[in-house]
Structure 1
């Protein structure tokens, strides 16, 4: 049994990893979940849970010394792109400094560090991208995630970087939203929503990303991996697909150019990933976006009936 520690386990990806492990799909792991505050998943009798803030180096060092994980999957981050632009010092602390502390501990204990990164390390001028393509971030979030990647690539412990795109899914406590749930809720309530039609992404189902991370851990796969959905859409097309699936009034969708939204952080125009490496080395099989919406619908129905 390998001992696996996940940081940020209260987030969408963290909870999906927890769910998959509790289903027994990856039986080779002894699981330790960690996040700030109490356990939102709520079944910690079946695994260890730690109240852990990765920006506190002493906390992290003590936890790792106590529980001695073989593998750490770091899902903790400050992912709000506009907030990172407004608060660059806080972004740097969470997205870079905390990662540097994790690297130091992993090097000392020879722990395999699996770190979550983003398509925003690219400028979006020539997407979709392969793992070897040269990053060129256009906002603070992307610059800080790239800085963390560069630190990891110099590490002497085993390491993996998992870049992903626009993750969506359902949490059992509905504590986090994402583009799919946001669009569904707004349109169901008859709210007009402004959506850009000049940015393109490959949205990623959280279950697919979680399984990919666990496969990397199981196979001890090192290096950089691109993990996303397989369908490319404009942001507007994603929202229109949500409207179509739920038979909602698409007239509430206001199509805008990026400049019109006046967001704090610039976004890359077209990212997307070439997934050949994940297909070949991880046997990665992502859901289509339509299949992802169907799964979300089933999960929401189950939550409403419980």
Structure 2
């Protein structure tokens, strides 16, 4: 297996590379990113710094590497950033995805693409893979367009939609809900957490494992990958405080309307995971159990 990874400095990509190293899998990997290599699991021979929207340079590198598999994690994921610069969001989230999926089709490479619960408007969650998409922000809309491009390419491709990814990696520059809440509460800082948005948080280790499962079986189609516990974001932070013996009295609710997110974030997403559990043999880790693993990982990383 020769795996070409976009966005190799990203949260998921770093965890995926850690998984390969930990399991001592005999795979060749090439990571690419616009910034200097921060992925400690990639050595100098396994990383190329390049601007992914320079399709000529991208073509040279991917053609030279000859991947059997492509893991496309690079994206503009910040909702506000996508709204402010839709043209750039289109370039990274849509055009790049279209280019890579077409390469995969033309060169018989398996393509794994990471998408999001934000392709749904949040009015009828939890959602199955067959439910109609409708985004309430341009980030979600760009991912809908990207998904359509992947499907239209005819590539053997797995589209993995996921939700509110959390967890731990050695790279301190990568934050998420769990690490933010842990860090604030450990410093006795009060935090406000949205109380009327429902999600199924996804442990990054589970998401990385699902990528590997999809690759190994050359899976094709759309798959929902998340935890299987629906909760408000406020409830998830209370669970974090309970599990880590932190002060819950520092947590207070705030509404999506007060945050300015009433209309530009889906209210309730969540996934039906039946297809992924049956086809990919995906088994999500319970949320509280994952928090114990994360604490152990942080100690191992020296964080």
The residue aligned with 1:303 is: 301
**Matches of residues 4-19 of structure 1 in structure 2 within 5 Å?**
4-19=3-18
Secondary structure of the residue aligned to 1:37 is coil
Secondary structure of the residue aligned to 1:224 is strand
Please say if 1:257 is aligned against 2:272: no
**Matches of residues 142-161 of structure 1 in structure 2 within 5 Å?**
142-161=140-159
Per-residue deviation, 1:113 = 1.4
Q: C-alpha separation between the residues in 2 aligned to 1:96 and 1:140?
A: 12
The residue aligned with 2:171 is: 173
Secondary structure of the residue aligned to 1:44 is coil
Per-residue deviation, 1:186 = 1.3
The residue aligned with 2:39 is: 41
The residue aligned with 1:285 is: 283
Per-residue deviation, 1:156 = 2.4
* Contact 2:72 2:112 survives alignment (8 Å): yes
Per-residue deviation, 1:46 = 8.8
- Structure 2 unaligned residues grouped into runs of 5+: none
TM-score, normalised on structure 2? 0.95
Please say if 1:126 is aligned against 2:124: yes
**Matches of residues 43-192 of structure 1 in structure 2 within 5 Å?**
43-45=41-43, 48-192=46-190
Q: C-alpha separation between the residues in 2 aligned to 1:172 and 1:93?
A: 30
Per-residue deviation, 1:180 = 0.5
Per-residue deviation, 1:31 = 1.8
* Contact 2:53 2:92 survives alignment (8 Å): yes
* Contact 2:102 2:155 survives alignment (8 Å): no
Per-residue deviation, 1:45 = 3.8
The residue aligned with 1:23 is: 22
* Contact 1:95 1:145 survives alignment (8 Å): yes
Q: Deviations over 1:66-112 (max 9, x none)?
A: 11101101011111122222222222221112112212322332322
Change (3 A) 1:87 1:265: farther
* Contact 2:17 2:41 survives alignment (8 Å): no
Q: C-alpha separation between the residues in 2 aligned to 1:40 and 1:11?
A: 9
* Contact 1:56 1:98 survives alignment (8 Å): no
Per-residue deviation, 1:190 = 2.3
- Structure 1 unaligned residues grouped into runs of 5+: none
Per-residue deviation, 1:134 = 0.6
Q: C-alpha separation between the residues in 1 aligned to 2:61 and 2:149?
A: 22
The residue aligned with 2:199 is: 201
* Contact 2:198 2:268 survives alignment (8 Å): yes
* Contact 1:230 1:286 survives alignment (8 Å): yes
